[in-house]
Amino acid sequence: MVHRPTIRRRAGGSRPEGLPSWLVRAERLLVEAMRTVRVLGAVIPRNAATERARLVAAYEAGQKALPRWSYARTDHALLRKALAGAAARLAAEPHPIAQLYAERARELEIEAALASEAGTAVLGALARARFRSASQEAAGEATILARKWIAEGREALPVAAGDTILSDGTEPGSLLQKMREEVSRLGLPFAVVVQPSLVALSATGERHILVAAGRAITADDVARTVMHEIEAHAIPRTRAATMKLGIFQIGTARGIDDQEGFALVLEDRHGYLGPRRKRELAARHLAVEAMDAGASFHDAASALVKEHGLDAREAVTVCERAFRGGDGTTPGLGRERIYLEAYLRVKEHLAAKAIDEVVLTSGQVSLAAIPVLAPYVRKARPTEPPPNARI
């Protein structure tokens, strides 16, 4: 299904002062691309749940196994061509806002290519281009943190079966129920639905918050995940819809990356970065590093078990995230390579300039875009829902 692009109505039919006529044309294409290109949806295998169960059983039995994932690819060739053309035209405009649109158009062109190449050997190279490190120094700092956190994670106490609850359970304390309660309490325009193939515990889209099915998690996992999705993703997306510029909803280049870094900063503030969570985040980073160095799914999973003490289910889940979009032998999406790097970057920036959090939480905004977008942001508390969120 192709979504019709929707441009926000502006008061009096006018644009923000000083912006030329290319704005609406750029927004129309980029909104269409944002709604059509679903990278994370494209790289989720159609048989993710059954393959996860098969792989866990094999690893628990001490057997070698590789995923046999299948994907539903979409050809975005025409959209990619349109985005490339738009990026070139926008880059020629002198206005700094035009440069933000041009950079996002180029990024969306790569994401459209990623969605088109799920399951092929090409995907890994495209993913490294999209989810690249800011610098070798930043990548090195993230690796040092990952190794520190994976060591600290060995102190995590095992979770007893009686201390868990199903993620999509009907009980009041489940992730599904708690997420729905918080969305309702804040009047956010999201439907909370169960997604059986989701490898993450939860994910936020344009109008839905997805919750994984059948996952045994703790009350701490529930509280952390609700805070993460609501404060770092759902509220900024809701606030973006009130902005005059579409780039807040469309997202700036690397805006999604810095949003994930900010989510971890929030977890840190709320006291959720304990040994278990640190081990999980570190394991994802190290699995992607191993994948980028040529390791297969089996090699990476085995290393997590033997070297870092993860159990078979944890190792399979971590490597499923790293290798999704691939076949388990060639590199997959590896999006987790940006999380710790973005966490360090956002944490350092906000420590030096806390006022920028207002801009950062006004949509999918990168740190680099803040100087340009700051004049267009209405002042509001960072994690407070925008006025009239129910509208």
Please, which pLDDT band fits residue 199 given cuts at 50, 70 and 90?
A: confident
Supply 160's token pair. 């007893």
pLDDT value at position 16? Answer: 54
Work out the average pLDDT over 353-380: 92
Q: Which residues are CB-neighbours of 144 under 8 A, at least 6 positions away?
A: none
Please, which pLDDT band fits residue 13 given cuts at 50, 70 and 90?
A: very low
Work out the average pLDDT over 157-184: 89
CA distances from 360 to 235, 269, 318, 355, 368 (A): 11, 16, 28, 9, 10
pLDDT value at position 244? Answer: 87
pLDDT value at position 378? Answer: 60
Work out the average pLDDT over 203-217: 94
Please, which pLDDT band fits residue 237 given cuts at 50, 70 and 90?
A: very high
Work out the average pLDDT over 88-92: 95
Digit-coded pLDDT (tens) for 257-279: 999 999 999 999 999 999 999 99
The answer, yes or no, to whether residue 304 has pLDDT greater than 50, is yes
The answer, yes or no, to whether residue 6 has pLDDT greater than 60, is no
Work out the average pLDDT over 100-118: 97
Digit-coded pLDDT (tens) for 125-140: 999 999 999 899 999 9
Work out the average pLDDT over 281-294: 97
pLDDT value at position 25? Answer: 86
Please, which pLDDT band fits residue 145 given cuts at 50, 70 and 90?
A: very high
Work out the average pLDDT over 98-120: 96
The answer, yes or no, to whether residue 181 has pLDDT greater than 60, is yes
Please, which pLDDT band fits residue 161 given cuts at 50, 70 and 90?
A: low
Work out the average pLDDT over 186-203: 94
Supply 183's token pair. 């969305």
The answer, yes or no, to whether residue 253 has pLDDT greater than 80, is yes
pLDDT value at position 389? Answer: 46
pLDDT value at position 156? Answer: 72
pLDDT value at position 182? Answer: 98
Domain boundaries, the chain: 134-391
pLDDT value at position 158? Answer: 73
pLDDT value at position 18? Answer: 54
pLDDT value at position 299? Answer: 97
Give the range among 74-83, 128-137, 362-371, 375-384 with minimum mean pLDDT.
Answer: 375-384
Q: Structure pTM?
A: 0.90
pLDDT value at position 153? Answer: 87
pLDDT value at position 154? Answer: 83
Work out the average pLDDT over 291-298: 97
Please, which pLDDT band fits residue 59 given cuts at 50, 70 and 90?
A: very high
The answer, yes or no, to whether residue 76 has pLDDT greater than 90, is yes
Digit-coded pLDDT (tens) for 40-58: 999 999 999 999 999 999 9
The answer, yes or no, to whether residue 387 has pLDDT greater than 50, is no
Average pLDDT, the chain: 90
